Amino acid sequence: MQHTQSLSVAEHGYAFFDVDNTLIALNSMLSFQDYWYQLYPDSEAESLYRADLMAHLHEHACWETVNKLYYRHFAGRSVAALADAGNRWFCHKRRETRFYCQAVLAELRDHQARGSEVVLVSGSFPAVLEPIARDLGIAKILAAQMEVSAGVYTGFLSAPPMVGAGKREAVKALLSSAALAQASYAYGDDVSDIPMLSVVGHPVVVAGGRLSSAEAEKLGWRLIAV
C-alpha cells in the first residue's frame, strides 16, 4: 500500500493547502478561541487574550509573532479537553452555510481525483485541523506542534511556527526531488504563504487575503477567486 502511494505521489505530486481563509472561509484559530471561552468562561483569561489581539493583530501583523503569542493562552489546558473542544467546534461551524471556500474545495477534490496527495499546512493546531482532514479524506497535516507536560499544554511550541519560513521548510522536507517539487501545487492567501508557494512548480493565490492580485500577477502565479 505504501509503495503504491509513493508511486502516486511521485507521478502526481503533492497539493499543499493553507487552511484559514483559504480552504475554509474563516480563521480557525480566532474562531476556536471564541468558542473555547463559551465552553469554559474565564473573564480574566479572555481579557488577556483579547488585549494581545488588539496589540498585535493588525494589517501588517507578523504572523510568526502572533502565532507564538496565541499559543501562550493555551497554557494549562488539557490535551483531552482541547481535542474534545476542537471536534465540537468543527461540528458547530460545519453546519454553517459557508464553511469551506467552494472554489478551493473544488481544486482540492480535483487533486484527489487525479491521485495527488493533499496536505493541509497551517499555523493552526491539530485539534481543529484533524476534524477537517477527516471530513475531506486527507491523511497528512503539517500544523503547530504544541509542547505538552503531564497532559496539559505549556503555552509554548516545540517547533518553529507553521508560518512563513516554517511552512516552507516543512513542505521542502516532503519534496524529495526537483521533479516532485515541480509537479506539486500549493495554495495560499497571505504574504506569509509566499515562502511555501515559492518552492512548488504550481503556486496558486487565493484572492481576498494580504497576498494581492497585483502581487500574484507580478510573480506570475495563478489567482483564483472565492
Degrees to nearest 5, angle at CA 198 with 193 and 204: 65
* Per-residue confidence (pLDDT) for residue 4, from 0 to 100: 43
- Taking a C-beta distance cutoff of 8 angstroms, is the pair 37, 31 a contact? no
Q: What are phi and psi of 124, to 5 degrees?
A: -75, -175
For residue 1, what pLDDT is reported? 36
Domain count within the chain = 1
The answer to whether residues 198 and 93 touch, using CB atoms and an 8 Å cutoff, is no
pLDDT at position 9 = 76
* pLDDT tens, the chain, 226 aa long: 344 445 567 677 999 999 999 999 999 999 999 999 999 999 999 999 999 888 777 776 677 888 899 999 999 999 999 999 999 999 999 987 789 999 999 999 999 999 999 999 999 999 999 999 999 999 999 999 999 999 999 999 999 999 999 999 999 999 989 999 999 999 999 999 999 999 999 999 999 888 988 999 999 999 998 8
201 phi/psi in degrees, rounded to 5? -75, -20
Cell 501588517 appears where? 60
Helical axes 43-56 vs 28-39, angle rounded to 10°: 160
Domain that holds residue 58: 2-224
- CATH number for the domain harbouring residue 22: 3.40.50.1000
